[in-house]
Chains A and B, each alone.
Chain A
């Protein structure tokens, strides 16, 4: 009988730590953190993405503002108005790109968060909350995330520029002027981040509408795998863009054989067709992922990894498309500039001039790559986050795999291969697209100068080495935390988890 008494008074197994922590804080304050902080913690990756975007935008516009002040302080330079407009325009393009990639990442994160919350949402629906109310509350969280990220970004971005300018002034690189760091225009990126984050949260919360109250009653069915919503309109639109843009690109190259004006036509064609690729990525990326997955071999681990990478086609697409965008743009610029450099280098025989040319091209390329690369960093954050969340939501399945005889090493290998598959696919697709665009641009520009002949594209070796390293690092980082998480739970715990 003592046993029965003990089991009545004792807390349930696993209740131990919780009990202790509530005892500890009982004397001081109520245990719960404020709901606000709680929500922000759950959306940590999205806050990070919003903060990164804002930091980049605020810093870039602030730098361009400083450059304008420098130019204005120099009476020798006239027409500073034109220069500053140009600078702002270029900066806006890069910031816009970062925000676009950030929005894709955030939409994906919200989709995944909502998927994880299905039981709670179902319970709320069961208790009488409407789907629209539920969705609106998710969108409100998006607003919160956007504002928090924007505030962090304003502070960090401004601080970075202040520190950089102070250092440069101290070293005598910059004149000691009374710089104004903050301008009204410089805060535009922050506002844009808030807006895009809310929009992304709204798009990402679409899934709330599919949650039925019945899902709260515990009849949990295995989620269909590989199903994807049909988006006929979107696919048709994407196909039109790709085909139309591709034809324009081709026309640009052909016209370029006679006249350098072809490069402008090719540029428009490139922008249109690449937009088509991004819009229609959901039809292509899953197949690409599966194809790369098959290259990893037919072993069970590789096979599971390959299936996992495409189990949520929409999500995998969005997790990788940001990286595709970044890599494509960097490759386009590299290939175009490198082809241009090779061509011009062949024309001139003066070694001093060639060296100057080299420096100029390299500097241009590094700056451009850095600016575009920032979007790729945001995209990488998204991929890492996607991996973490998807592993977290697969705990039961991982427990089952452990129970039927997968070793810890096999689970780790599976997650690493999954990450590698995404990283490699995104980067290879980016390199292929970038090479086509870069070559087309260079060809259209130089075709007429080359007596209407074709020019072979030059792929810079450092770029390829750099991208291969990036793929390895990205896959490693994206797999690190999820793999540890996946193997730290015992099969029993994982199987018990709902």
Chain B
């Protein structure tokens, strides 16, 4: 469990929920290209994502935050290092195993194009179950029903994605991500395409899922307001984790970003 060079600049975060990591990134490096054209998107990154926590990963464009998310979620391969989801070393899984892992143990919310346009809202939410060749169980249906009600999607179940506003589309994506009660939800700039009101609603939903239902969430963002909804904010720059704070206000987070910018 010891992690020597894990967090060089770590300040002790407010640890809420279980201390056990739901996912653990160990010395991950990701490089693109070879020789002179080689670019390191991630350099020896180690990070624990704790169970039940809402973690934000912040950094400027090109800092490697999306790459980190993709690798942690098993969407992309690390050049070296390993990633554990629970006890599973996902860097050793083949494509089919990774696919099943994403289907059953991970939820996704992307910035846009979250929904399958040919399926209505209810079919989009049930997609992970249906891909598994089954219908949701009674218990799962009750959970989905509760989610749909809470997210204000009751009257939208038979609508197609293009009939919904951006905020509604994101809430459907969140419902889908939460429906399987995954180990971990990854959200990649989930508010990037939304106006500030819709964005706040979406962030509130994510925070509630984590706070009231113990859902572990990792969110990638470059927006200090979005990051302020998280329990913990990890800062990435030039492919390295350079700083970390607990729950903070947008102003404090912006200040950290500015300081990092100045130090660079």
CB-CB under 8 A for A404 and B103, given A14-B32, A221-B162, A307-B119: yes
For B220-257 the 0/1 string (1 means CB < 8 A from A) is 00000000000000000011000000000000000000
Interface stretch of the complex, out of A24-32, A240-248, A489-497:
A489-497
Chain A's nearest CB lies how many Å from the CB of B16? 29
Q: Is B3 interfacial (CB-CB < 8 Å)?
A: no
In angstroms, Cα B39 to Cα A19, docked, is 14
A492:B33 contact, CB within 8 angstroms:
no
Q: Is A217 interfacial (CB-CB < 8 Å)?
A: no
In angstroms, Cα B113 to Cα A220, docked, is 9
B102 interface neighbour in A3, A16, A224, A404, Cβ under 8 Å = A404
A400:B113 contact, CB within 8 angstroms:
yes
Q: Is A467 interfacial (CB-CB < 8 Å)?
A: no
Across the interface, name the chain B residue whose C-beta is closest to A308.
Answer: B118
B39 interface neighbour in A10, A307, A490, A491, Cβ under 8 Å = A10
In angstroms, Cα B75 to Cα A283, docked, is 42
A405:B75 contact, CB within 8 angstroms:
no
Chain B's nearest CB lies how many Å from the CB of A67? 52
B70:A406 contact, CB within 8 angstroms:
no
Q: Is A162 interfacial (CB-CB < 8 Å)?
A: no
A222:B238 contact, CB within 8 angstroms:
no
B115 interface neighbour in A3, A221, A222, Cβ under 8 Å = A222
Chain B's nearest CB lies how many Å from the CB of A124? 24
In angstroms, Cα B38 to Cα A226, docked, is 45
A10:B160 contact, CB within 8 angstroms:
no
In angstroms, Cα B102 to Cα A28, docked, is 49
In angstroms, Cα B43 to Cα A125, docked, is 43
Across the interface, name the chain B residue whose C-beta is closest to A19.
Answer: B37
A7:B238 contact, CB within 8 angstroms:
yes
Please give the number of chain A residues whose Cβ is less than 8 angstroms from any Cβ of chain B in the complex. 43
Chain A's nearest CB lies how many Å from the CB of B193? 9
B239 interface neighbour in A3, A307, A491, Cβ under 8 Å = A3
A4:B238 contact, CB within 8 angstroms:
yes
Q: Contacts of B33 on A, CB cut-off 8 Å?
A: 10-11, 13, 16
B39:A404 contact, CB within 8 angstroms:
no
In angstroms, Cα B193 to Cα A221, docked, is 11
Across the interface, name the chain B residue whose C-beta is closest to A309.
Answer: B118
Q: Contacts of B128 on A, CB cut-off 8 Å?
A: 404-405
Across the interface, name the chain B residue whose C-beta is closest to A394.
Answer: B117
B75:A490 contact, CB within 8 angstroms:
yes
Chain B's nearest CB lies how many Å from the CB of A1? 9
B99:A402 contact, CB within 8 angstroms:
yes
A408:B113 contact, CB within 8 angstroms:
no
Chain B's nearest CB lies how many Å from the CB of A398? 10
Q: Is A397 interfacial (CB-CB < 8 Å)?
A: yes
B99:A405 contact, CB within 8 angstroms:
yes
A222:B131 contact, CB within 8 angstroms:
no
B161:A222 contact, CB within 8 angstroms:
yes
Across the interface, name the chain A residue whose C-beta is closest to B105.
Answer: A405
CB-CB under 8 A for A304 and B119, given A10-B37, A225-B162: yes
Q: Contacts of A136 on B, CB cut-off 8 Å?
A: none
For A135-162 the 0/1 string (1 means CB < 8 A from B) is 0000000000000000000000000000
Q: Would you list which residues of chain B between 38 and 62 have a CB under 8 Å from chain A?
A: 38-41, 43, 62
For A400-412 the 0/1 string (1 means CB < 8 A from B) is 1111111111100
Q: Contacts of A407 on B, CB cut-off 8 Å?
A: 95-96, 99-100
A403 interface neighbour in B75, B118, B161, B264, Cβ under 8 Å = B75
B131 interface neighbour in A12, A220, A410, A495, Cβ under 8 Å = A410
Q: Contacts of A221 on B, CB cut-off 8 Å?
A: 162
Q: Would you list which residues of chain B between 158 and 174 have a CB under 8 Å from chain A?
A: 160-162, 169
B131:A13 contact, CB within 8 angstroms:
no
In angstroms, Cα B37 to Cα A406, docked, is 33
In angstroms, Cα B25 to Cα A465, docked, is 58
Q: Contacts of B62 on A, CB cut-off 8 Å?
A: 7
A222:B130 contact, CB within 8 angstroms:
no
CB-CB under 8 A for A405 and B162, given A14-B32, A300-B130: no
Chain B's nearest CB lies how many Å from the CB of A24? 15
Across the interface, name the chain A residue whose C-beta is closest to B162.
Answer: A224
B131:A10 contact, CB within 8 angstroms:
no
For the complex of A and B, the 8 pairs showing the least CB-CB separation, nearest first, are A405-B103, A13-B32, A307-B118, A300-B130, A224-B162, A407-B99, A16-B33, A16-B37
Offer 14 A-B interface pairs, CB within 8 angstroms, sorted by A: A10-B38, A13-B39, A16-B32, A226-B160, A300-B130, A397-B117, A402-B99, A403-B75, A404-B103, A404-B128, A405-B131, A492-B75, A492-B76, A495-B110
State the B residues within 8 Å of A (CB): 32-34, 36-41, 43, 62, 70, 73, 75-76, 95-96, 99-100, 102-104, 108, 110, 112-119, 123, 127-128, 130-133, 160-162, 169, 176, 238-239, 264
A-B contacts besides A16-B37, A307-B118, A400-B110, 16 pairs, CB < 8 Å = A7-B238, A10-B36, A10-B37, A220-B112, A222-B162, A222-B169, A303-B119, A304-B118, A304-B119, A311-B117, A397-B116, A404-B103, A405-B104, A406-B99, A406-B131, A409-B96
